[in-house]
């Protein structure tokens, strides 16, 4: 039997995002995290899973995946974009 999925509230995970803390789109950020948690439940990704994420961008989904797989799991992100893409949005 696989371990039960336990996800942190999106309102907590939002602090892990690269967006600025005073982002005017905070409601969107929280809603987007909840959306990604919904995907994880649909896919039934269990704690301890090893995930290769293709195209993580700024890591918004990576945060949710890491929370889902927990300390016994692993998330590796591979993105073709240059390392400084989106740097103007990072504090």
Partner 1 sequence: MLARARGAGIPRVLVAEYALSASHPDAVPHVLAALAVNALESFRGEESLRNIRCAVTPAQISAAAAGEGCTLAGEDYIVPEGAQRDGWREAIMVLKGTSFARHVGEIEEDDKVKHMLLGMRDALAASVKADGLDRIRNMDVWVARFEWSGVGAV
Q: List residues near partner 1 by CB under 8 A.
A: 25, 27-28, 30-32, 34-35, 38-39, 42-43, 45, 52, 54, 85
Tell me how far, at minimum, the Cβ of 32 lies from partner 1, in Å.
6
Tell me how far, at minimum, the Cβ of 43 lies from partner 1, in Å.
5
Tell me how far, at minimum, the Cβ of 29 lies from partner 1, in Å.
9
Question: Of the two residues 8 and 34, which places its CB atom closer to partner 1 in the complex?
Answer: 34
How wide is the angle at C-alpha 26 spanned by C-alphas 85 and 44, nearest 5°?
80
CA distance readout (Å), 32 to 3, 5, 64: 25, 19, 10
Phi, psi of 50 (to 5 degrees): -110, 120
């Amino acid at each position: 039997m696989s371990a039960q999925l336990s996800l942190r509230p999106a309102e907590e995970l939002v602090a892990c995002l690269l967006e600025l803390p005073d982002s005017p789109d905070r409601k969107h950020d929280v809603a987007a995290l909840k959306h990604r948690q919904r995907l994880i439940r649909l896919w039934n990704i269990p704690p301890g899973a090893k995930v290769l994420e293709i195209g993580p961008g700024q890591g918004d989904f990576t945060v949710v995946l890491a929370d889902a797989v927990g300390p016994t799991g692993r998330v590796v992100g591979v993105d073709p974009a240059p390392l400084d893409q989106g740097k103007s949005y990072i504090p």
